[in-house]
Chain A
Amino acid sequence: MLFVEFRFLAFFGLVLAISWALRRNGARKAFLLLASYAFYAAWDWRFLGLILLSTAVDGVAGRRIHEAGEDKARRRAWLGLSLVVNLGVLFTYKYFDFFAGSLNALLTWLGVGSSLPVLELVLPVGISFYTFQTLSYSIDIYRRQLTPAEHPLDLALFVAFFPQLVAGPIVLAKEFLPQLTQQARWSSVNARAALVLFFVGFVKKSCFSDALSPYVDAVQLAPDAVSTAGAWISAAAFAAQIYCDFSGYTDMAIACAALLGYTLPTNFRAPYLTRSVGSFWTHWHITLGRWFREYLYFPLGGNRRGPARSALNIFIVFLVSGLWHGAAWTFVLWGSIHGTFVALERTRLGRPLARLPMIPALLYVNLVWMVSMVIFRAPDLDGAAALLRSMFTGAPALADDLVPIPTWIGPSLAGAFAIHVLWQRLELSRRWAALPAPLFGLTLGAAVALALPWVTANPAPYIYFAF
């Protein structure tokens, strides 16, 4: 059930109406939990068991960690259980085949000929997101930054809350659980701002991302059949597509949660307008960066152990971040590239980059991003190499692209650029929501009517659902 589908709009309308009709906080939370499970079951009900397992394990572990008081060994043991179960499930479903396959290839290359089994399991949607959320719960209790949820229902709703269940933003327990202790009030909901955010997210996904996707997909299927210009256009199109896709989803998730009376953290702040790769990562998928900073970078020592160790820690974080996105060598390479750039920017070599004027700095960041995203999007390293060859060497020298460039790719890219740059820079959401109510209604109605013709017939699944 995609946020841009009519059935989601019907589902959400129903959930919104019933949830605000329920007067008691407990009943409201129970209803939202059931709705969240129903939402997830619409994807694949079989994987609900994994969410329940994760919730139960962290519920027990969190409470036991808290109850262990000063008994460090017990606290560690219960935290260890949470880590082993959550990461074990994640590893089994997402990474086992990748590591087994890679090991098999290595052993075959060495002539050992050993063969590890391959499980070929279906990847449960959203597993990387909710696993990180539940881990934050146990770890924060262990660090004494959080007390266990007052009621198991609260924890279950934190894990499964449907607006952010399948693709974030990655919410931390310490910022969400306190919101559940009090009854949400409609009077404190900024409905107009939420509606604008939902609409903008809808436009990003349905009108821009889905419009750009067929061309990007076609180029990926035949990377040798595009000219240099076509390859660059497809790289730019994918950069625009993934921003519109993911930030569009996030906008809609934040808007849905806001309409239900809850606040989710910001996930994007005009990343393509940043002037260094390091800065880019504080503006793109902000909640993932925050999670890695708090739960991996700092535990590794952060920047407290000297520049060399700091650079290594950064590299490790980005390597793991690459793997978080997917179990493939393309993601490992992609993460390594970003880790290298961010680490380099912090050394002497990075100083000239920091002094670049605005336009060259923007070009630098966007060039690194576009080129690395070719690797990110490619099905394998060979596919990435083929497209990069077309981009940089001009080979093959095609007079005409065998994958024709659609005429509306220009308007779609322009629209994506406008919504990224102008929208955020001019704070148009805030201004729009602040209009007098009748004018707000009129303009929103007109904007919806303007957007509908650009909605595609068959919405593609969100790119980040695959992670």
Chain B
Amino acid sequence: MRSLLPVLTFGVGLVAVNQAMVALAPLPSAAGLRSKVEFAVEHADDYDVLFVGSSATMYGLRPEIFSEELERLGHPGVRAFNLGVGGMGSFEAAHVLRRVLEENPARLAWVLYEEPLFDPLLWYPDVHNPRYVHWHDGRSTLDAIDALPLVDAPPGYKEAEYAGDWLGRFDWRLAVAKEHLDLWLWRASALGRGPEMTDELLGQGAAVLPSQSDLEGHDGWVNIGQDAQPGVREAHERFLERRGEWAQRLADIKATEAASGDLDGGYDLPSLEALLADIRGAGAEPLLYVAPRGLASPQMAALAARGTAGEVLRFHLPDRYPELNPIDLRWDFSHLNAEGAEVWSRLFAREFARILEAKGAAARKR
């Protein structure tokens, strides 16, 4: 027992200081993740509605317009915050949302969640990038690994890499699972975060954008036309060169959606159910939606048909929401411009009011 004591104290010292270091490691500032999450946590009690999603949500939903339209429709005093972040996938979004829900937000009544696809693949070439590392806590890591059997093939450019991995020789999914575990280890040890922490302590970290005042002014919405993030302007220029393809995109969405069938066991229902349970556990109601980002979403069609998550608002359907089809409302193929964001926000408010009224009617009947 005496010889084990230093081993035990080693563990205690390691874990205690490690927890402090992990807590000191700042969230990645890319795409506004850090400022948005920090703002949402700090103002968790100020909002009734939270939009959670990708850049399509970040640029496309204007909470002040949403609230204004709701008020016009007879639902005053609803305050929403846009927690959309560029490049945020479902596991990352779920992790971020849980972080906000941990604050037990007093007013939060609705979480409007964009297209939860729960893709467990790691697409970026630089696997150890901070955006991957930060969400790999124990739970999210296991959730992502659990979802791997539902995926048929790895990203094409990674096939050779996985095939060359000693674990990947048995099954490429094992190589991906190893990546997830590696990321968990990185997060758990704050590995490689020292320079950022030093910059932070010295007050010389990268500028955290959007600023808190910008976030407060627009409740989290970012005007894509004024966003200086890398690639935003280039995507717009590419879109202008190829705007003739937009009509074909809409036709493709219609064709794909018409042909979509069942979930066929290829969807991560356990992760979805856990997410819905977490939202309800925090006293809020979940509502799923698909953003008008110029792509079909057959899985959400199947999920809507199945009814697991109640109604799914599918704003990407050109026939159901023709107001969003005009090309002048778009910044690029995936994102609406500021005018498009206003149109979608009002449309979303109308659909949301309908759901609120239906719920109210159902409650009155009971």
Query: Is the pairing of A and B real?
Result: yes
Is A456 an interface position by the 8 A CB rule? Answer: yes
Give Cα A438 to B3, complex, Å: 9
A456–B204 touching, CB < 8 Å: no
Report the minimal beta-carbon distance from A252 to chain B, rounded to whole angstroms. Answer: 19
B13–A446 touching, CB < 8 Å: yes
Is A85 an interface position by the 8 A CB rule? Answer: no
Count chain B CB atoms within 10 A of each CB in A406, A440, A456, A457 and give the residue with the most.
A457
Interface string of A446-467 (1 = CB under 8 A from B): 1111101111110000000000
- Collect the chain B residues with CB atoms within 8 Å of residue A442's CB: 9-10, 12-13
Give Cα A404 to B204, complex, Å: 14
Give Cα A211 to B192, complex, Å: 10
Closest residue of chain A to B198, judged by CB?
Answer: A408
> Which of A445, A455, A457 is close to B13, meaning CB atoms less than 8 Å apart?
A445
Report the minimal beta-carbon distance from A219 to chain B, rounded to whole angstroms. Answer: 18
Closest residue of chain B to A437, judged by CB?
Answer: B6
> Which of A440, A443, A452 is close to B18, meaning CB atoms less than 8 Å apart?
A452
Give Cα A452 to B186, complex, Å: 9
- Collect the chain A residues with CB atoms within 8 Å of residue B18's CB: 449, 452
- Collect the chain A residues with CB atoms within 8 Å of residue B202's CB: 407, 411
B189–A444 touching, CB < 8 Å: no
Interface string of B178-201 (1 = CB under 8 A from A): 000000000001111111011100
B190–A453 touching, CB < 8 Å: yes
Closest residue of chain B to A436, judged by CB?
Answer: B6
Closest residue of chain B to A406, judged by CB?
Answer: B195
Check A407/B204 contact, CB under 8 A, given A452-B21, A453-B25, A453-B197: yes
Give Cα A443 to B9, complex, Å: 8
Is B277 an interface position by the 8 A CB rule? Answer: no
Report the minimal beta-carbon distance from A234 to chain B, rounded to whole angstroms. Answer: 17
Closest residue of chain B to A445, judged by CB?
Answer: B13
- Collect the chain A residues with CB atoms within 8 Å of residue B106's CB: none
Closest residue of chain A to B128, judged by CB?
Answer: A457
Interface string of A239-260 (1 = CB under 8 A from B): 0000000000000000000000
Closest residue of chain A to B13, judged by CB?
Answer: A445
Is B255 an interface position by the 8 A CB rule? Answer: no
Give Cα A446 to B14, complex, Å: 5
Interface string of B1-30 (1 = CB under 8 A from A): 010011111111111111001000100000
B10–A450 touching, CB < 8 Å: no
- Collect the chain B residues with CB atoms within 8 Å of residue A207's CB: 194
> Which of A407, A411, A444, A457 is close to B10, meaning CB atoms less than 8 Å apart?
A444
Give Cα A200 to B136, complex, Å: 29
Count chain A CB atoms within 10 A of each CB in B195, B197, B204 and give the residue with the most.
B195
- Collect the chain A residues with CB atoms within 8 Å of residue B5's CB: 437-438, 441
- Collect the chain A residues with CB atoms within 8 Å of residue B191's CB: 452-453, 455, 457
A408–B195 touching, CB < 8 Å: yes
> Which of B16, B25, B192 is close to A446, meaning CB atoms less than 8 Å apart?
B16
A411–B7 touching, CB < 8 Å: no
Check A452/B190 contact, CB under 8 A, given A407-B204, A437-B6, A445-B17: yes
- Collect the chain A residues with CB atoms within 8 Å of residue B15's CB: 445, 449
Interface string of A391-417 (1 = CB under 8 A from B): 000000000000000111001000000
Give Cα A455 to B197, complex, Å: 13
- Collect the chain B residues with CB atoms within 8 Å of residue A229's CB: none
Is A354 an interface position by the 8 A CB rule? Answer: no
Give Cα A446 to B11, complex, Å: 9
- Collect the chain B residues with CB atoms within 8 Å of residue A446's CB: 13-14, 16-17
Interface string of B108-131 (1 = CB under 8 A from A): 000000000000000000001000
Q: Give the total of A residues in contact with B, Cβ under 8 Å.
A: 26
Is A107 an interface position by the 8 A CB rule? Answer: no
Give Cα A437 to B9, complex, Å: 9
Q: Give the total of B residues in contact with A, Cβ under 8 Å.
A: 30
Interface string of B188-228 (1 = CB under 8 A from A): 01111111011100101000000000000000000000000
- Collect the chain A residues with CB atoms within 8 Å of residue B11's CB: 445
Give Cα A295 to B10, complex, Å: 46
Closest residue of chain A to B197, judged by CB?
Answer: A453
> Which of B12, B16, B193, B204 is close to A453, meaning CB atoms less than 8 Å apart?
B193
Closest residue of chain B to A454, judged by CB?
Answer: B194
B189–A452 touching, CB < 8 Å: yes
B17–A449 touching, CB < 8 Å: yes
- Collect the chain B residues with CB atoms within 8 Å of residue A456's CB: 192
Closest residue of chain B to A451, judged by CB?
Answer: B194
- Collect the chain A residues with CB atoms within 8 Å of residue B9's CB: 438-442, 445
Closest residue of chain B to A6, judged by CB?
Answer: B185
- Collect the chain B residues with CB atoms within 8 Å of residue A455's CB: 191-192, 194
Question: From residue 136 to 152 of chain B, which have CB atoms closer than 8 A to chain A?
Answer: none
A453–B14 touching, CB < 8 Å: no
- Collect the chain A residues with CB atoms within 8 Å of residue B193's CB: 453
> Which of B8, B13, B192, B194 is close to A444, meaning CB atoms less than 8 Å apart?
B13
- Collect the chain B residues with CB atoms within 8 Å of residue A211's CB: 194-195
Give Cα A442 to B13, complex, Å: 5
Question: From residue 264 to 308 of chain A, which have CB atoms closer than 8 A to chain B?
Answer: none
Give Cα A407 to B199, complex, Å: 7
- Collect the chain A residues with CB atoms within 8 Å of residue B25's CB: 453
- Collect the chain A residues with CB atoms within 8 Å of residue B21's CB: 449-450, 452-453
Report the minimal beta-carbon distance from B144 to chain A, rounded to whole angstroms. Answer: 20
- Collect the chain B residues with CB atoms within 8 Å of residue A457's CB: 128, 191-192
Report the minimal beta-carbon distance from A341 to chain B, rounded to whole angstroms. Answer: 36
Give Cα A438 to B13, complex, Å: 10
Report the minimal beta-carbon distance from A145 to chain B, rounded to whole angstroms. Answer: 42
- Collect the chain B residues with CB atoms within 8 Å of residue A445's CB: 9-15, 17
Give Cα A154 to B7, complex, Å: 34
Closest residue of chain B to A439, judged by CB?
Answer: B9
Report the minimal beta-carbon distance from A452 to chain B, rounded to whole angstroms. Answer: 5
- Collect the chain B residues with CB atoms within 8 Å of residue A440's CB: 6, 9
Count chain B CB atoms within 10 A of each CB in A411, A441, A443 and give the residue with the most.
A441
Report the minimal beta-carbon distance from A364 to chain B, rounded to whole angstroms. Answer: 32
> Which of A407, A438, A444, A449 is close to B198, meaning CB atoms less than 8 Å apart?
A407
- Collect the chain A residues with CB atoms within 8 Å of residue B6's CB: 437-438, 440-441
Interface string of B147-183 (1 = CB under 8 A from A): 0000000000000000000000000000000000000
Give Cα A137 to B204, complex, Å: 55
A441–B17 touching, CB < 8 Å: no
Check A449/B128 contact, CB under 8 A, given A407-B199, A438-B5: no
Known: A408-B198, A439-B9. 14 other contacts (CB 8 A): A407-B204, A408-B199, A438-B5, A438-B6, A440-B9, A444-B10, A444-B13, A445-B10, A445-B13, A452-B18, A452-B189, A455-B194, A457-B128, A457-B191
Would you list 14 pairs from A and B whose C-beta atoms are within 8 A, ordered by A residue? A406-B195, A438-B5, A438-B9, A441-B8, A442-B9, A445-B10, A445-B15, A447-B13, A449-B15, A450-B21, A453-B192, A453-B193, A455-B194, A457-B192
10 nearest A-B residue pairs (beta carbon):
A445-B13, A441-B6, A454-B194, A445-B14, A441-B9, A449-B17, A453-B194, A446-B13, A441-B10, A445-B10
Q: Which positions in B face A, CB cutoff 8 Å? A: 2, 5-18, 21, 25, 128, 189-195, 197-199, 202, 204
